[in-house]
Structure 1
Amino acid sequence: MTNATMEQRNVSRTPARTSPDISTITPQPDPAQDQNTQEPPSLTSRQKLRQTLQRIASSPTLPRRGRSASTGYRREGSLSCVSLNASQPCLSSSPLNEGSSSRPTTPSTRSQWELRGGHRIRLVGTHSPQSQSRTVPLPSDVRPTSRNAIKEDLRLDEDGAVTKETKPTKNVDFWGDMPQELKMEIFRHLTPLEIVRCAPVSKMWNAMCYDGQLWSKVDPAGFYEKIPSEILIKLIISGGPFVRDLNLRGCVQLRDKWVSKSGNIPDMCRNLVNISLEGCKIDKTSMHAFLLNNSRLEHINLSGLMNVTNSTMKIIAQSCPQLKMLNVAWCQDVNSKGLRKIIQSCAQLKDLRASEINAFQDEGLAQEIFERNTLERLVMNRTNLNNKCLQILMHGVDPEIDLLTNLPIVPPRRFRHLDLHRCSDITDEGLKSLAHNVPDLEGLQVSQCPELSDESIIEVIRTTPVLSHLQIEDLERLTNLTLEEIADFPCAEHLEHLNVSYCQRVGDPGMIQIMKNCPKLRSVEMDNTRISDLTLIEACKRVRRRGCGEELSKIGLRLVVFDCANVTWAGVKEVLSSNSKPPQIPKPKAECKPAEVVSVTQALKEGSSPVTSTYFVMPPSPPTSAMYAKEIVQLKCFYGWQMVVNEHTRRVLYGNLSGASRLDNRWAEHMMLTGEAAASGVPGVRRWRRWAQNAEQMYLNDEAGDDGDDGGTVGVVRVMHRRQDSQTWDMCALM
């Protein structure tokens, strides 16, 4: 039995599988062509698998990437199972179409069909493959485009040509498409007042401005007078459980609105950590509701509230075990009984401020504070504290005494700031109890304690090596000996603030030592003392030694010297001149570059011998930049000179050293004329006042920019020489 006979039987047994869609578009086979075509030989399973892999690997990108062509295909063209031309469909050799008996019979398509490896395939191309390339262009989404063609879409028209279709530009809503988290992050960079002003922009902005995420800290300190009560209540209620810090200091507009239509304000805030109701008109019930609903409170400020009583202290002791700071200053209804409950229940209390409270004469309260030993700041100024209670605070009751040093053996206190201001019952005996017991003390205020003297203050200063703030104002028995001891002991390295105002026995011997030995000094108040211009000159000298740089100057030392009889305008002028004088910078030792020798040879006339000239060229100097003192002195002096001093300081801070120096010189001329007028006697005072007015007018013209000539100044100088006398020359020699 021949192979042809067997294949005919197989074909007759297998039903023809034809697709209705393909049959409608596929041309009918030509019988003449079928007779001339020989049937392909039967293939093995391995050959069929290899051909299938070759069909899968056919792609227009493979030849471009340097991949070898598949076996059985020609390299001059690529194969495709689908044609982009609708008039010339393609039949693939997939299993769905293997049994199809449709063959191309038309003359136009007959040349495009070939027999490859037992399968009929069609080459993609035009009617004449020799004239044009047999390739198909890439789809538009894969084809590379330029940056300018990003918004253009590529499509094929009816003729097969590629055209560009421009898409309409999409309107981008930048703010609307932004995620809600980013919007809230942007609003967090605004101040509370700016957020309130942004609320009326739109409904969406109003909802975001009153979102609780923005109000974890409600602090209207800068605009509490401008914001109405309705907006403030809305802020607190919208924050609700998000609020951690609530500062209502001075918000008197909430007097009768703690229970609003939106709800009870104390019931809305249940996660507070810090609360300040100082100066706020709040009723006792609402205040107690705040304290009962917030068990995690750490800082409570109830200063000046008349509704605070011992019952309030009891609620705080029971509801706020994590309390660290309590301010009940000026609460007159609180006594030692209420404070004792706070000390016993709040084990983490570090800051207690109880000014103007008559509770510290109770020895039981002093013993409780001694046994707890957790306080780092204790403010009890203007109270009835006496020597006995102060000694119990430091030593306890009946401490053990060391036989060698005669000092009580007790653990050191943890006090860092101690305020005994205006405790008139304290004497040297009580203050000496601080010695050797407060090694970490940084701030001490014992102003207006008339019974204190050098003896007790010196003993405390010797045992406080890190003391940085000392206020000993209005101590009549204080002398320069205390200041000299401060300058000699280790606390001089840390001292930043010193107040010796109204200590009328303090003068230059003590203050000059302070200026020399305290390098970190920032503020000195010494009004109504015996200091003179020498102290000001020494202060300027020490401040100028703090260095210089290219940045603008900053205030490094603040001096208060008003009502000092020995401070004259000459000392004030020294301060102004020191601030406006550019610092003298030592030149660095640079390498000395010798001058370069340059020889130039030229002929003066044609035919003459050339002449050689030698020149010495100096190397260029390095460029210099403007330098300013790092720190200057801010002075508060006699009110008649203060305006000139403030203007001079402002110019120096802005870097206008020339303008500050000009102002300094003009003011010195004015003061000299005023001094001569006062020294000349009554008959010539009117004339000298007129000359002083002329000098002031010249100063105003000079400040306005009229510096064309100095005729006015020369005239004043001539007048001064014409009216010179012994007193004038003595004053000039003194300056």
Structure 2
Amino acid sequence: MISEAPVSWDPNIHRFEPVPILKGRSHSSPFPTSAFDVVPQLDLNAFMPLSFNHVRNIFDEVLPRELRLQIFWALIKLYEEEHERLVCSGKWTALKAASSRNRWVGRDRAMRELVKFSRVSKTWRSLVFDGQLWEDVDLQAFAKLPALFLARLAENVGPFVKHLDLSGHTSLASNTLVDMTNSLCVRSAPTLNFTYTQLTTVNLQGCTNLSTQSLHGLLIRSPFLRSLCVKGLGAVTNATFDVLALCQHLTSLNMNRCIHIDGEGLRALGAAVLSRGDCLALKELRLSGIQDVFDDALATLGKAAPDLEILDLSYCSSLHNSALAALVSCTEEEKHKTKTISLTAREAGMVVRDSRRYIRRVTALRHLSLSHCSLLTDIACSNLAYALPRLEFLELAGIGGELHDDGLVKLLNTTPLLRRLDLEDASSITDAVLSVLTPVKEDDSASGGDVAPLHTGHALEHLVVSHASRLTNDGFSALIRVCPKLRFLEADSTLVSGSVVREFVCTSRERKIKDAHFIAVDCRLVGENVVKDIMPQTRPRRGWRSWEARKLGYLDGRDGEDLKVGQDECDEERVVLKSFYNWQMVDAVKAARDRKRKATKKLRNGSSEQVSELEEGKWTSRMKWWTPSRRSSGNNTPGLDDGDRDGCVIM
């Protein structure tokens, strides 16, 4: 039953009206029961989250692993190509290279960014350190890497590594190298305990903390080794030669400045290979500074290494003329096993009355360095004549006045492919040496359709004759005019004059030879006027654009520095001319940069003051040296302020 609302009669309108119901007494508190009661209630539908479709991670969930590795590999190549393109376009400048942002470029920057990707996730970490991306481990630019990173890197990449370059890692410890060797090894078979690496190239130059045991452990487990550089390591001993005798594929060995090796170790290496009826595969052998190298060691080397192309025996104080004769000597029984040549006594540099025939081995040497071997004379050159027909680089610096024309001319006459010759400190040589290096013109030597024979000097590019005071300007001029490829001529402390310098610069510009050099330090006949005349075509130094060259302060024309002084040192078309006056220009550029830096600093600090009169006077005096009216530098030499003239004190 539905209850009806109460009504009452209203006499004014003569009808019934509903009676209003009043609210009863409230017994609740006027304060809210909760702090949240003051917040008005709203429609819940207004706060419903929006629905989005789930974005699928295609790279990690869809792409196969090999394709993801190819993407990382393409990223590395992209960094390399980007830097090459920047260099080729001419936008790579010295200031950009000196910036901290460009400290790592090319592949080094790519590998650095690749390691950063390993922080994304565990999946990316496994991709970054996949061995397929680390076949070439070149860490030369990161010499301060911790040992823990090196050990983990070797553990992750495993036996994929074929090229290992740790040069400059002076803190590399022996135990770290042992751990890396174990990680790089692959087992020959599951049932065998013998393990080996797949390394073909190893460079440990500068790793001075290594022990002999750790080094030998790496070499023994590297049967496929082709190139090894252990320059300057104290861990290298004669026992290292015995270990290397097992590396049958070794073609390049650099043991320069290893103080614990001598000629006996070298002889043992060759004897061990010959005893098993085999030959060394060596094509490059560098043993600068090796001690006690005698005839038997080089005789064994000549027999055991018939394919040797590069031999460095510089700074061997015990090396004698007879040892080089033993290197190319050959007996009647051995001449059928190798290519030989039969010489008369005159051709062999012996006594003319001797009627015997001398058999010499025709070697494959292209580069021979005998610099600073104090016991050698030009007789050594006579002993090598006719045995080095492929010789391209010959270094005989520091031998001194014992190097005369006779033996040297005999050797040079039999080396038509010679490209570089270093005769520094050969004070006894004369124009006869320059004459044999000057090729005959083709018009004079060839007639009709006959092909002219190769003459020594036609391929000459680099010549050093510093301190050869008996050479004349006529010999230099003839050499410069006829040698078509000559681009480097060093003639310190000689009688070369300014006319020869001018001719070399003009000839190099006509031939469009890049990076040509003429070094004429301490040449009194090269005057200031000549240097000024050819200044638009020369530069004082050969600049290069790199982070490592930032402190050398090369002046690069691409940077657009408004110094109003100096020459573009990075322009390959300019000839590098080194003399007393050119070095002053380097000081002038440095002074101009200091002045510009001080002015910029004052402007940055809000000061409107100009450079002080004292500084302006110094700058003006520096610039006077290059004014055409000046005949000598005197006290106005750039960079020689009063405060800097205390270098030489007469006691």
Relative to the length of structure 1, the TM-score reads 0.55
Q: Give the secondary structure class of the aligned counterpart of 1:556.
A: coil
Whole-Å Cα distance in 2 between the matches of residues 465 and 263 of structure 1?
A: 46
**Unpaired stretches in structure 2, ≥5 consecutive residues:** 1-51, 78-106, 187-195, 274-278, 336-340, 349-357, 441-454, 540-570, 593-621, 642-651
1:194 corresponds to which of 109, 113, 132: 113
- Assess, with a 3 A threshold, how the Cα gap between structure 1 residues 396 and 240 changes in structure 2: closer, same or farther: same
Distance 1:674 1:574 in 2: 13
Residue 188 of structure 1 and its aligned partner are, at CA, apart by: 3.5
Q: How does 1:324-335 map to 2 (within 5 A)?
A: 324-335=251-262
| 1:578 aligned partner | 537
Structure 1 position 478, deviation (Å): 1.8
Q: Deviations over 1:406-430 (max 9, x none)?
A: 5423341111111111111111222
Supply the AA of the counterpart residue of 2:73: E
Q: Name the CA distance, whole Å, in 2 between partners of 1:290 and 1:284.
A: 10
* Pair 1:404–1:347, CA change in 2 (3 A): closer
Which amino acid in structure 2 is aligned with residue 298 of structure 1? R
May I ask how many residue pairs the two structures share in their alignment? Answer: 445
Structure 2 residue matching 1:300: 3-state secondary structure: strand
After superposition, the Cα gap between the structure-2 partners of 1:297 and 1:468, relative to the gap in structure 1 and judged at 3 Å, is same
Counterpart-to-counterpart distance in 1, 2:233 and 2:180: 26
- The aligned residue for residue 212 of structure 1 is 131
Structure 1: which amino acid aligns with 2:406? E
Deviation at 1:463, TM superposition (A): 1.0
2:156 maps to 238
Post-superposition offset of 1:249: 1.4
Q: Which of 307, 315, 318 matches 2:235?
A: 307
Give me the whole-angstrom Cα distance separating, in 2, the residues matched to 1:323 and 1:296: 8
The match for 1:540 is 505
In structure 2, C-alpha distance between the alignment counterparts of 1:630 and 1:263, rounded to whole Å? 44
Picking from 462, 475, 478, the partner of 2:413 is 462
Partner of 2:360: 410
- What residue number does 1:321 align with? 248
* Distance across 2 between alignment mates of 1:183 and 1:572: 55
SS of the residue 2:118 aligns to: helix
Structure 1 residue aligned with 2:557? none
Q: Structure 1 residue aligned with 2:328, among 394, 412, 415?
A: 394
Q: What is the CA–CA distance in structure 2 between the aligned matches of 1:646 and 1:522, rounded to whole Å? A: 28
Write the distance in 1 (CA, Å) between the matches of 2:173 and 2:211: 8
- Cα separation, partners in 2 of 1:364 and 1:310, compared to 1, 3 Å: closer
Residue identity opposite 2:428 in structure 1: R
Residue 201 of structure 2 corresponds to 274
The equivalent of 2:281 in structure 1 is 348
Matched residue SS, 1:184: helix
* Amino acid corresponding to residue 439 of structure 2 in structure 1: D
Bigger relative CO (Cα 8 Å, ≥ 6 apart): 2
Secondary structure class of the residue paired with 1:675 = coil
2:524 aligned residue: 565
Show the counterpart of 2:221: 293
1:504 equivalent in structure 2: 469
Looking at structure 1, the residues matched to 590 and 395 of structure 2 have their Cα atoms a distance apart, in angstroms, of 30
For 1:602, the equivalent position in structure 2 comes to none
Q: Give deviations 1:98-154, integer Å, cap 9, x for gaps.
A: xxxxxxxxxxxxxxxxxxxxxxxxxxxxxxxxxxxxxxxxxxxxxxxxxxxxxxxxx
Whether the aligned pair in 2 keeps the contact of 1:210 and 1:239 (CA below 8 Å) is: yes
Pairing partner for 2:489 from 492, 506, 524: 524
> Counterpart of 1:360 in structure 2: which amino acid?
V
Compute the displacement of 1:643 (Å). 4.7
Kept in 2: contact 1:385–1:423 (CA 8 A): yes
1:641 aligns with 2:606: no
Q: 1:235 to 1:204 in 2, by over 3 A?
A: same
Matched, 1:378 2:337: no
SS of the aligned residue for 1:563 comes to: coil
* Counterpart contact for 2:394–2:421, Cα < 8 Å: yes
Structure 1 pair 670–434 and aligned structure 2 pair: CA distance change class (3 A): same
Question: Any idea what the Cα deviations from partners look like across 1:155-214, whole Å, max 9, x if unmatched?
Answer: xxxxxxxxxxxxx98846564444324323234425333323443344333322222111
Read off the aligned partner of 2:240 and give its amino acid letter: T
Identity %: 28
- The whole-number CA distance in structure 2 between the counterparts of 1:204 and 1:246 is 26
When residues 669 and 301 of structure 1 are mapped into structure 2, their CA distance, relative to the original with a 3 A threshold, is closer
Q: Is the 8 A contact 2:497 2:525 kept in 1?
A: yes
- Report SS of the residue matched to 2:293: coil
**SS of alignment partner, residue 224 of structure 2:** coil
Separation in 2 of the partners of 1:458 and 1:248?
A: 43
Please point out which of 274, 277, 283 is paired with 2:211.
283
Partners of 1:431 and 1:292 lie apart in 2 by 39
Give the match for residue 224 of structure 1: 143
Aligned to 1:180: 68
Give the match for residue 651 of structure 1: none
Q: Which amino acid letter does the alignment assign opposite residue 675 of structure 1?
A: R
Q: Deviations over 1:512-536 (max 9, x none)?
A: 2222112212222222222121122
Partner amino acid, structure 2, of 1:394: V
Match of 2:32? none
- Aligned-partner Cα distance in 2 for 1:444–1:212: 42
1:452 maps to what in 2? 403
Kindly indicate whether the alpha-carbon contact (under 8 Å) linking 1:331 and 1:357 is maintained by their aligned counterparts in 2: yes
**Matched residue, 1:420:** 370
SS at match of 2:315: coil
The 3 A distance-change label for structure 1 pair 536 and 198 is farther
Which residue is 1:338 aligned to? Answer: 265
**CA distance in 2 between partners of 1:172 and 1:487 (Å):** 74
Structure 1 stretch displaced more, 241-250 or 182-191 = 182-191
CA distance in 2, matches of 1:187, 1:230: 26
Query: Using a 3 Å threshold, how does the CA distance of structure 1 residues 397 and 420 change in structure 2: closer, same or farther?
Result: farther
* Residue 467 (structure 1) shift: 0.2
Q: Counterparts of 1:290 and 1:263 in 2: how far apart (Å)? A: 6
Q: How far apart are 1:244 and its partner, in Å?
A: 0.4
Q: Is the 8 A contact 1:300 1:325 kept in 2?
A: yes
Maintained 8 Å contact 1:468/1:491: no
CA distance in 2, matches of 1:263, 1:363: 36
Q: Secondary structure at the match of 1:275?
A: strand
TM (norm. structure 2) is: 0.62
- Do 1:449 and 1:475's aligned partners in 2 also have CA atoms closer than 8 Å? yes
Structure of larger gyration radius: 1
Counterpart Cα distance in 2 of 1:257 and 1:200 = 27
Describe the SS at the equivalent of 1:253.
Answer: coil
Cα distance in 2, alignment partners of residues 218 and 668 from structure 1: 54
Q: Is the 8 A contact 1:476 1:504 kept in 2?
A: yes
Query: Is the counterpart of residue 483 in structure 1 residue 445 in structure 2?
Result: no
The 2-side partners of 1:449 and 1:279 are apart by 29
Deviation at 1:494, TM superposition (A): 0.5
Once the two structures are superposed, what CA deviation does each residue of 1:388-416 show, in whole Å capped at 9, x if it has no partner?
11111123468996559654233411111
In structure 2, the CA distance between the partners of 1:285 and 1:505, relative to structure 1 (3 Å rule), is same
Equivalent pair of 2:166/2:203 in contact (CA under 8 Å): yes
Listed one character per residue, the Cα deviations across residues 597-639 of structure 1 (whole Å, up to 9, x for unaligned) are xxxxxxxxxxxxxxxxxxxxxxxxxxxxxxxx98331222222
Residue 732 of structure 1 corresponds to which residue in structure 2? none
Matches within 5 A, 1:681-692: none
Q: Select the residue among 384, 397, 415 that pairs with 1:434.
A: 384
The CA deviation at 1:448 is 1.0
Name the counterpart of 1:137. Answer: none
Q: 1:333: how far off?
A: 2.4
Do 2:270 and 2:304's aligned partners in 1 also have CA atoms closer than 8 Å? no
Superposition CA RMSD, Å: 3.5
